Structure 1
């Protein structure tokens, strides 16, 4: 039998260096892969034989459920596989556990609730630090072991039912908390004490004002598309807003946020907040209910460095209209009256260097808004304007050419149209 030459052995050893990686590094690499790909990868090296039953990151993505459903023609197959993987897990720790499942029919989740309960009970007993649970169904009720897990650092819940059994929960290590499509009505008598919380996100949640969180060091707050019967307190109580550096709101939440700042006694004058990165979705400067709150928010956020706005306008407006064409329209006069106040507050933002506006359609109110910001912001360096796909190429070129010739307060402002 031919033996490899010494030079060939050296090359083989060098090309197989990945097999010699420490187990914790391999475990971390496999954590970025879909669970089925991680299972295939560990068989590539005899040195990795003990890694699979000890994986610390278990992520079951949507394609995992689709693949098993197509293979076995049943939605329950994936649930059996997850249960088997967890029961065969031999390691002392599962740091990350993700289940991202969606199906238009809720019966599957409802019928497998016991299985999901057992998954969560097992991972919380193994020191889980990150849980992501997306079930696409309000039929599943979150077990108490999750909100009682003191090792958690990140909790992401989407489309499920949360009915706490106790009035107070302490999550001492949670730094990131995300709720999406959660009915917070059941939180009315609940207090979440999250002293290490840095990032809080609530999207498409119902009864937002029922969220009672004790958090003193939040850096990032995202509130979008939340609703409720009343908004006596839109901002979660017991939250120190002055620690927030990144703020993301939709146009509806914008007004509620500013109004609630006023109700809670936060002075609507500079400097009340320390926000550096402001992101607004579905914003229309023509609407008084959006323009005025934005101006008020800019007043109390004098330390902005980045401003990112996703524009919105009703589809019924004429896309080819310009400011000069419509001097006689009353709405133009209304917008004109707001421009001096916008200009006044924008001129005081001497730290704001990045402005990004997307979904730009070229409407006259958008043109006025952009023109005023460029003419007022004194320290701009980077300006990105992204057009909407609804604009045809000819209209896009005409409008963008006009924008590029708008006067700029900052000589360093570089405008890029994409």
Structure 2
């Protein structure tokens, strides 16, 4: 190799752009001083990431700035003005003065709207937009208002993936469909505006959707004919069944979803699953917070399995707690009744395994009842697992009687 030869700069532009995409945006900007090649790459960067690192860097570099939020806004404006070419991915995790989101004298909503309009005209395919959440972040602003998502995002033709956090979703465009080519939607702490439930809007290409700690989801009244995956997580709801109805769109047809993830205390929600039909077409089911404090909890769990007769994969985050009042006979009969319906279940994954007696009893019952099981993957919780008893736990696991001779246990 010739001394001093710069092989990296000779790489194709697409590869250089991919390399810069892995760097924090501050580091990517610094490469512009290397040569005209790198300067062109920086000004044509297809991934712009204004995240925690970016805001922390600006605050550290300009500690004496009168308004560090305005300084961050100025830098983002300058980057966008100097940018040429397409932008495939855009990330904004806003960390600044929330008063600029409202309607007060310090409002800078116009800047945000202009950014998003600019981005949606640059061929963007992935967007991640996050603002401070008043329920989880320390916000000192009595009149805090959620940022209202502009209509240019709802109508963007190139957008395929959208992740939103702590914004207000309230489409006001008069069109038959929104997010025309989006295949993946994720909502965290999002508030949906109260609109006419008789007005159903089509999201034609949507395949995956996720809701976490959102409000008034029932008003997100959409039709998604290609939807295959639904995730509901991190909800903290009491036994009020009516409240559970509001965590999913009221008219969205979910009878054809093949992947369902319920990452919250789902027992009281289980009875509402049948509103999508007496039987679901779910093939992959993920459950968390599996706790059987009484017979009703256990019945809800069994019900969740029984309405998924096509289930092939069951993924459980192990938080199993079996109350002393639930007999082994009740557990065994419940699993037997579920096994009669789930004749296609071949893969079982158990995560965050701690080796507790409740978990071991749970696994023993599953192995004894499901005849189609081929693979059981047990992933231990490295923090909570008691390594002193690991040999005894493994000995019990591998010696449990199995209804299927083909059932193999993989312990990780």
Interval of TM-score (by shorter of Structure 1 and Structure 2): 0.7 to 0.9
Cα deviations by residue, 1:275-330 (Å, 9 ceiling, x for unpaired): 2322112222445454323322322323333221112257xx9xxxxxxxx9xx4x
In structure 1, list runs of 5 or more residues that go unmatched. Answer: 1-7, 318-325
> 1:380 Cα shift?
2.3
Does 1:175 find its partner at 2:183? yes
Q: 1:353 aligns with which of 337, 346, 370?
A: 346
Q: How does 1:267-278 map to 2 (within 5 A)?
A: 267-268=278-279, 272-273=280-281, 275-278=282-285
Q: Equivalent residue for 2:271?
A: 259
Contact 2:215/2:247 (CA < 8 Å) preserved in 1?
no
Q: How does 1:65-80 map to 2 (within 5 A)?
A: 65-73=55-63, 74-80=68-74
Q: 1:50 aligns with which of 40, 43, 54?
A: 40
Q: 1:128 aligns with which of 124, 135, 151?
A: 124
> 1:108 Cα shift?
5.7
Cα deviations by residue, 1:347-373 (Å, 9 ceiling, x for unpaired): 654543332222334444333221111
**Aligned pair count?**
386
Q: Equivalent residue for 2:261?
A: 248
Q: How does 1:136-285 map to 2 (within 5 A)?
A: 136-137=132-133, 139-166=146-173, 169-186=177-194, 189=197, 191-226=200-235, 230-232=243-245, 235-253=248-266, 255-256=268-269, 258-264=270-276, 266-268=277-279, 272-273=280-281, 275-285=282-292
**2:364 match: secondary structure:** helix
Does 1:24 find its partner at 2:14? yes
> 1:234 Cα shift?
5.2
**1:252 match: secondary structure:** coil
RMSD: 3.1
Q: 1:59 aligns with which of 49, 52, 57?
A: 49
Please say which of residues 354-363 and 128-137 is displaced more in the overlay: 354-363
Q: Equivalent residue for 1:4?
A: none
Cα deviations by residue, 1:191-227 (Å, 9 ceiling, x for unpaired): 4421100110111112232221210111221112346
In structure 2, list runs of 5 or more residues that go unmatched. Answer: 134-144
Contact 1:234/1:260 (CA < 8 Å) preserved in 2?
no
> What's the TM-score, normalizing by structure 1?
0.81
Please say which of residues 201-210 and 68-77 is displaced more in the overlay: 68-77
**2:167 match: secondary structure:** coil
**2:345 match: secondary structure:** coil
